[in-house]
Structure 1
Amino acid sequence: MVTAVLMRIVSCWRPSVEGENSSRVGDANGRVDGLLWYKDSGKHVNGEFSMAVIQANNLLEDHSQLESGPLSSFESGPHGTFVGIYDGHGGPEAAKFINEHLFGYMKTINGAEFTTENHGMSADVINKAFLATEEDFLTHVKKLWLSKPLIASAGSCCLVGIICGGLLYIANAGDSRVVLGRLEKDFKEVKAVQLSSEHNANVESVREELRSLHPNDPQVVVLKHQVWRVKGIIQISRSIGDAYLKKAEFNKEPLLPKFRVPESFDKPILQAEPEILVRKLHPEDQFLIFASDGLWEHLSNQEAVNMVNTCPRNETCQSCTSRSSKEERNEILRLGKD
């Protein structure tokens, strides 16, 4: 499954205007072509955007959103743009919950902690919004545990970008990725700059982090069929949800055996806390590509940036996701022949 949002940036920071509010995958303004949903072009406070998703099957586990306007419940709070990519797994429940709650939590927390010194936004506000979403989703899982135990295996990667007051905030928990297209004036080329790192057990530094957090568990990461997995089950080390790897009370029946680890644990195996980057935006910063791992498995950072830079503006996300989907289908065909 591939989910992508493209944000073009203008360097003129201005308040929102009427008609600039929100867009989400699947809303009435989008277009559908088979398992492809896309929105060609829209306006946000700091420029333009397009978004698209290609489903791997008929069950949509991913969600994404773009909110443009007030970023705080405080009356005179800041305006800006919020984008979220929620790559669900084990079911759609976690990604859907994030889509419905994370932005609201952020606005409420930001309203309570608003200061003019931080332009009305801070890494601390974003971190608290992630953790509040995690806490409430785990509470939701507990309520449904006996009637719907599989919800304990539902989780989602969560990649968020916020533009506010000339600053860009990137918060990531999982293996989605954001890439900046930056104009190199001396070479008259748009270069790719990766702004997030993947929390995937196939990355050596992630395995080292897991081992340092769980020094008494030699099986916290396991090489299984040439792929490193946390507890031999899942590749990502950070997520919202995945209650069965967060609280031992869900690591038992009636959850299916394939999701249960053999030993109990006293602290979460996966983390929900995001890795956060804050950087100033510059006139050379042309656009941002937010996408789930399904896109980056088939396109390099520079290939994606080149496509955005050369495609007509109203076809950008559609073109990127369509290409990655086509290459994925071709790869499946080659594997089938072998």
Structure 2
Amino acid sequence: MLSRLMNFLRACWRPSSDRYVHTSADTAGRQEGLLWYKDNGQHINGEFSMAVVQANNLLEDQSQIESGPLSTLESGPYGTFIGIYDGHGGPETSRYINDHLFQHLKRFTSEQQSMSVDVIKKAYQATEDGFFSLVTKQWPMKPQIAAVGSCCLVGVISCGTLYIANLGDSRAVLGRLVKATGEVLAIQLSSEHNVGIESVRQEMHSMHPDDSQIVVLKHNVWRVKGLIQVTSMWKQ
């Protein structure tokens, strides 16, 4: 039994040349097969660590940490940006988000000269519009790109405020230390958009009252149109 387990683990650590994490902070990490990790890194609000384990031969997910100016203006706010992009159907969407979302956020922050919920919404919308435009151009040659998507979970720390934005079914959790007991409490900061949750199913039915098949129970799993669990509803 032990030898079987070791052979299984060795198979999991095969080398991969795919890109894992983009970050502008000083975060040179280490890679062991399908595991990439960084124990301690510095950002403007403190320290961070991160790890990524690749589940498939082709990595569909991306993540990034940006620390420093959140604006193109010298007088703009400083802070930290964290993005988690859970791709599905391929890597194109998550990589596009990784390359464009933070740049849009910096542009809109410069225009308003401050970080806000509205800035993050505009950055999300501009990124989605840009990817839709890319799909339109590439669809005649690469029709499968129309079936590629990604969740998008973002945290922004600016001027002492933590902003959380979520599109999809990733989850942000805050660990809070209780000094009196030493216990660490896990506090959920975002809500998932997944039709496995009854309230999300109800919302989908209310948004599509004429489509009785908008949510289907397939093999004991609730799915949108019988295909996918995650929805594309926006909440901040």
User: For residue 93 of structure 1, what is the amino acid of its counterpart?
Assistant: E
Distance in 2 between the 1:100 and 1:152 partners?
19
Closer, same or farther: CA 40–187 of 1 in aligned 2, 3 Å = closer
- In the TM superposition, residue 59 of structure 1 has moved relative to its aligned partner by 0.5
Deviation by residue 1:155-178 (Cα, 9 ceiling, x = unmatched): 000000000111000000111111
Identity percentage of aligned residues: 62
Distance in 1 between the 2:105 and 2:149 partners?
20
**1:268 matched to which residue of 2?**
none
Structure 2 unaligned runs (5+)?
A: 1-19
Aligned ranges for residues 1-338 of structure 1 at < 5 Å? 22-23=24-25, 29-114=28-113, 120-238=114-232, 271=233, 273=234, 275-276=235-236
User: For residue 75 of structure 1, what is the amino acid of its counterpart?
Assistant: E
- In the TM superposition, residue 30 of structure 1 has moved relative to its aligned partner by 2.1
Distance in 1 between the 2:229 and 2:183 partners?
35
Contact 1:74 1:112 in 2 (8 A): no
Q: TM-score, normalised by structure 1?
A: 0.62
Closer, same or farther: CA 147–23 of 1 in aligned 2, 3 Å = farther
> Secondary structure at the residue paired with 1:48?
strand
User: For residue 157 of structure 1, what is the amino acid of its counterpart?
Assistant: C
**1:251 matched to which residue of 2?**
none
Greater relative CO (CA pairs within 8 A, separation 6+): 1
Q: TM-score, normalised by structure 2?
A: 0.87
> Secondary structure at the residue paired with 1:99?
helix
- In the TM superposition, residue 228 of structure 1 has moved relative to its aligned partner by 0.4
Distance in 1 between the 2:223 and 2:48 partners?
35
Distance in 1 between the 2:182 and 2:39 partners?
27
Distance in 2 between the 1:52 and 1:178 partners?
15
Structure 1 unaligned runs (5+)?
A: 6-20, 115-119, 239-270, 277-338
- The root-mean-square deviation of aligned C-alpha atoms, in Å, is 1.8
**2:9 matched to which residue of 1?**
none
- In the TM superposition, residue 197 of structure 1 has moved relative to its aligned partner by 1.2
Distance in 1 between the 2:61 and 2:181 partners?
38
Contact 1:222 1:232 in 2 (8 A): yes
Deviation by residue 1:242-300 (Cα, 9 ceiling, x = unmatched): xxxxxxxxxxxxxxxxxxxxxxxxxxxxx4x3x22xxxxxxxxxxxxxxxxxxxxxxxx
Which consecutive segments of 4 or more residues in structure 1 shift more than 6 A?
none
Aligned length: 216
Distance in 2 between the 1:221 and 1:95 partners?
25
Distance in 1 between the 2:38 and 2:141 partners?
37
